[in-house]
Amino acid sequence: MSTTTVTVVGLGYVGLPLVQEAVRAGLQVRGLDMSDRVVDGLNGGRSHVDDLSDDDVAQILAGGFRATTDPAVIETSDVVVICVPTPLSADGGPDLGAVEAACRTVAAHARPGLLTVLESTTYPGTTDEVVKPILETSGLRVGEELMLAFSPERIDPGNPTYGMKNTPKVVGGTDEASRDAAVAFYSAFVDTVVPARGTREAETAKLLENTYRHINIALVNEMARFCHELDIDLWDVIRCARTKPFGFQAFYPGPGVGGHCIPIDPNYLSYQVKATLGYPFRFVELAQEINVGMPAYVVRRVQDLLNDSSRALRGAKVLLVGVTYKADIADQRESPATPVATQFLAQGADLTYHDAKVSGWTVDGTPVTQAEDVYAAAAEADVTVLLQPHKEYDLGRLAESAKVLFDTRGAVDHPGVARL
């Protein structure tokens, strides 16, 4: 596969790590994206995602990579990998607009022997029922002239241990030849490739992974509420429970769930179950109810802390620290900081924020004032709410500086700090 020519459609958090490893493996790689800004930036050596630095982009450019907005690159490709976003639509299902557009583009430029792989997360059946018919508008048949597979992305932005190369890759094909071709393709640059029985199994595997996390996070989020009322330190409970070497995996409460997977992916499965079978996926719906309610719970806890000091929330100075969805990255997708801020603003709080990764932040169209110095701002605020403990923060100093510190991540070991 050393001479394989690959076009990656969608050059974001999923597409770019794939590009990087494929280039390292000696494949000829091109990137196709609709955004002139993204394409021009990459060709100019500038990264727009956390997991690749400008130096990384320079290396893939030196390896022959080029980004383009011209879909004609597909015509000379052996493999096309679709890595476009699938956000939730208004009815709670996946918005497949970007996937469908990408497939129409591939169909318009497909040639016999082309392998197309969908990596975008979606509901079971999408590859067979949506992607395949669109590709066949080319006049070429999947299973005859074309090959088609699904391989769920497993990118965890900011993870220092697991990346594209050492995270096992699940692959399901529409037929045996498609599966084998996709396994051979990924085996060129991924250490372990796991064949699935078919595309539906591969699609559902990704949804199971994130539904598992979603439900277990909801479990500890609900426990956080009643443990607070019962005067039980849930963080210590988890510390003790995780010493069991079997049968337990630690999950932690927080101000809500964020990112490109957990708040969204389980809803794809819930949507498909209800639309196809006519009954709800009750675990997912309950988990969603609990996790979506956490921002409001954070605000109520802050309100209680202010009441203890005979202060009202309206007019109180509230500082939010860390507004990304995850610590030590700049990604704000589905960050729980946004609904937390929305709740505070609705209650009339005087809101400011500090984030070592975010230089400007707007909530519901309203710019939020950025504090220049987090420790000085904490000293002035009536309450400081720690949402993400970026490594740039000295948490002990933050606790000493703040009048009141509410830690939603269990990150601060300091007497007097209120924790979720």
Q: Report the catalytic residues.
A: 261
Residue pair 420/254 in contact (Cβ under 8 Å)? The answer is: yes
Distance from C-alpha of 210 to C-alpha of 269, rounded to nearest angstrom: 10
Vertex 71: Cα angle to 67 and 75 (nearest 5): 105
Query: Are 85 and 98 within 8 A, CB to CB?
Result: yes
- Residue 6 sits at φ, ψ, to 5 deg, of -120, 135
Spatial CB neighbours of 114, under 8 Å, sequence gap ≥ 6: 74, 77, 78, 79, 80, 106, 140, 146, 147
C-alpha dihedral, 391 to 392 to 396 to 397, nearest 10° = -170
- Angle at which helix 265-277 crosses helix 199-229, to 10 degrees, equals 110
Give, for 29, the enclosing helix (H) or strand (E). strand 28-32
CB 196 within 8 A of CB 172: yes
Per-residue DSSP letter, 127: I
Q: How far is 218 from 252, CA to CA, in rounded Å?
A: 9
